[in-house]
Amino acid sequence: MKPRVGFFDFASCEGCQLTVLNLENELLDLVELMDIIEFREISSETGGELDIAFVEGSICRPEDVRRLRAIRRRSRLLIALGACADTAGINALVSDRPEAELVREVYGDDPELMPAAGHPRPLSAFVQVDGRVPGCPIDGQEFLAILQALLIGRQPELPGFAVCAECKLAELPCTFERGIVCLGPITRAGCSAHCVAEGDRCRGCRGMVDEPRSGPYYRILEEHGLDLDAIREQLRTFNLAGEVKK
C-alpha cells in the first residue's frame, strides 16, 4: 500500500508548502509514490490515519495546540516543514514584546474584538517531532531527499557543518571581503549557500549548527570583530526564538 501523507499549516506564509508544489519536475512521480490524503491548500479531501504528516507554521493559540495534537494522534511520523514549524522562524521576531501589547497595538482595546494570541512557538514545544526540514523557505531538493529517507524507513539526517563549507566548495567570494556580515559561519548547511550564490549574504534562515562556537568557521566572525551582542542582533530575523548558543 502506498504511504499516506498529509500537509498541514499553522501560522505561516504557506511558502514551504508552495515550494513543494513548485517541484513541477517531480510532482507526477510524487503522486505515484504516495497517497496525498490531505493538503488543504490544493485539496478538499480530509481525514484518516497518516504515515507522514508534514506540518508548516508556528503554534500561537490554544486552538492551534488542539489541532496540532489531533494531527499528531493520527500520524505515525510528524515532520516540521520549514523554519516557522522548526524554530518559530521569522514569527519569533515579536517574541521580545509582551503578547498583550502586540494584540492591543494591532486590534485595539475592545476585548470582544481581541483574538487570543500568544508568542509563536515551534511544534516541538507541544508534540513529539520526528524530523525537520529547515529553511525559510525549505529547499525543494532537500525536502525530496528527506521524503525519500522517510519512505524507505531511514531517519533523515541534516548536515552538521556550516553554510561556509558549502560556500567554499562552490568557490564563492566571501561577503566579508566586501565588508558585509554573513551568518554562514554558524548556520546549518544544506542549501548550497544559496543566497551567497545569488549575490546576497546568508541571513541564517536554516537555524544554527549544533556547536556554533566550536565549528571551524566561527573564527571568521571573531576575526571581523563581531561580539556576542553583534551576532545576536544579526540573528534576530530568523533565530530570535533560539537563544544564541554559547
Partner 1 sequence: MKIAVNHLARIEGHANLVIDSARGQVRELRLEIVEAPRFFEPMLKGCHYSEVAPIAARICGICSNSHTLVSLEASERALGIEVSEQTRQLRRLLAFGEILQSHLVQLYFMALPDYYGVASILPLVHSERALVHHALELKRLANDILRVIGGRPVHPVTPVVGGFTRLPDAAELMDLRRRLVLVLPDLEATVEIFAGLDYPDFEREVTALSLLGDGDYPVFGDTLVTSGGRGAAVADFRDLVEEYQVPWSTAKFARMDGRDYMVGPLARLRNNHDRLSAMARQVAEALDVGPATANPYRILPARLVEVVHGVERSIHLIDDLLLAGLQEEELPAPDRFGAAVAVIEAPRGLLFHAYDYGDDGRIRAADCIIPTAQNLASIEADLRLRVPQVLDLGREDLTRQCEQLIRAYDPCISCSTHLLRVDFD
Residues lying near partner 1 in the complex (CB under 8 A): 10-19, 21-22, 24-25, 27-28, 31, 36, 39-46, 57-58, 60-61, 63-64, 90-91, 93-94, 97, 102-103, 105-108, 110, 112-113, 115, 117, 120, 136-137, 194-195, 198-200, 203, 237
93 binds, among partner 1, ligand SF4, none (CB under 5 to 8 A by kind): partner 1
Quick one: 96 or 177, whose CB is closer to ligand SF4? 177
DSSP state at residue 10: S
Give the integer Cα–Cα distance in Å for 131 and 129: 6
Helix axes 24-33, 140-151, angle to 10 degrees: 20
Give the integer Cα–Cα distance in Å for 85 and 108: 28
Among 6, 122, 184, 215, binds ligand SF4 (CB under 6 A): 184
Binding mask 81-120 for ligand SF4 (x = CB under 6 A): -xxx----xx------------------------------
Residue 20: count of CB within 10 angstroms of its CB: 25
Q: Is 234 in the site for ligand SF4 (CB under 6 A)?
A: no
| CA dist 213 → 107, 161, 203, 207, 235 (Å) | 42, 12, 17, 14, 14
H or E stretch covering 75: strand 75-81
Give the integer Cα–Cα distance in Å for 227 and 81: 32
206 binds, among partner 1, ligand SF4, none (CB under 5 to 8 A by kind): ligand SF4
Give the integer Cα–Cα distance in Å for 81 and 106: 28
Q: Is 142 in the site for ligand SF4 (CB under 6 A)?
A: no
Binding stretches for ligand SF4 (CB under 6 A): 12-13, 15-16, 56, 82-84, 89-90, 135-137, 163-164, 167-168, 172, 174-176, 182, 184-185, 187, 191, 193-196, 202-206, 220
